[in-house]
Amino acid sequence: MARLSVFNNLTLDGYFSGKHGEFTWAKGHLDPEFNAFVSENASSEGLLLLGRVTYELMASYWPTPQAMKNDAAVAERMNSLRKIVFSRTLDKASWNNTNLVKGDLAVEIRKMKQGPGADMVILGSGSLVSQLAQDGLIDEYQMVVNPVVLGGGRTMFDDLLKPLELKLTKSRIFKNGNAFLCYEPIA
């Protein structure tokens, strides 16, 4: 059975994107140890799940020469991995190895989790995270808390209807002040 994880950068005040969707703050505190962690994480196999907004942002960056210059290893993985974008408004998904799914999100994810496919990870895509968390379909939450405070933005859990109880399964502190926290739902 395939597992579904979330991997997101967060600010100290709990936002995964700023008031205008920006996340440039997540790049400001990089160090060699953290870069190695990101490259190692990007090398894992699996299927990327994206919402429309995150898809459009990533598809406009990762296939570019600038992405290859800034972080070749991550760019190569992002471009080669299989991706699914969930959207009711997109007409096509042209980024390499990307399929567009317009069906009911929870129904589609349940099918994918029960099938023989690879593990899946959601990057960004707060609306997907919130909906799937509410339906109990996320197996693991991986978060990198950045030592930055925005004072406003979007959380991954906007519109969550009931509390989500989690247990810490892993953690790691980096020299740049970032903290990697990994949680699983309490059954």
Question: For residues 39 and 172, what is the distance between their CA atoms, to the nearest angstrom?
Answer: 16
| β-pair type (179-185, 140-146) | antiparallel
Question: For residues 48 and 80, what is the distance between their CA atoms, to the nearest angstrom?
Answer: 11
* Number of Cβ atoms within 10 Å of the Cβ of 120: 21
pLDDT tens, position by position, 2-31 = 899 999 999 999 999 998 888 888 865 567
pLDDT tens, position by position, 58-84 = 999 999 999 999 888 888 889 999 999
Q: How far does CA 144 lie from the centroid of its chain?
A: 11
The pLDDT of residue 28 is: 55
Structure-token pair, residue 34: 């953290």
The pLDDT of residue 74 is: 82
What domains sit in the chain, N to C, each tagged with a CATH number? 4-185 (3.40.430.10)
Q: Tell me the pLDDT band of 161, cut-offs 50, 70 and 90.
A: confident
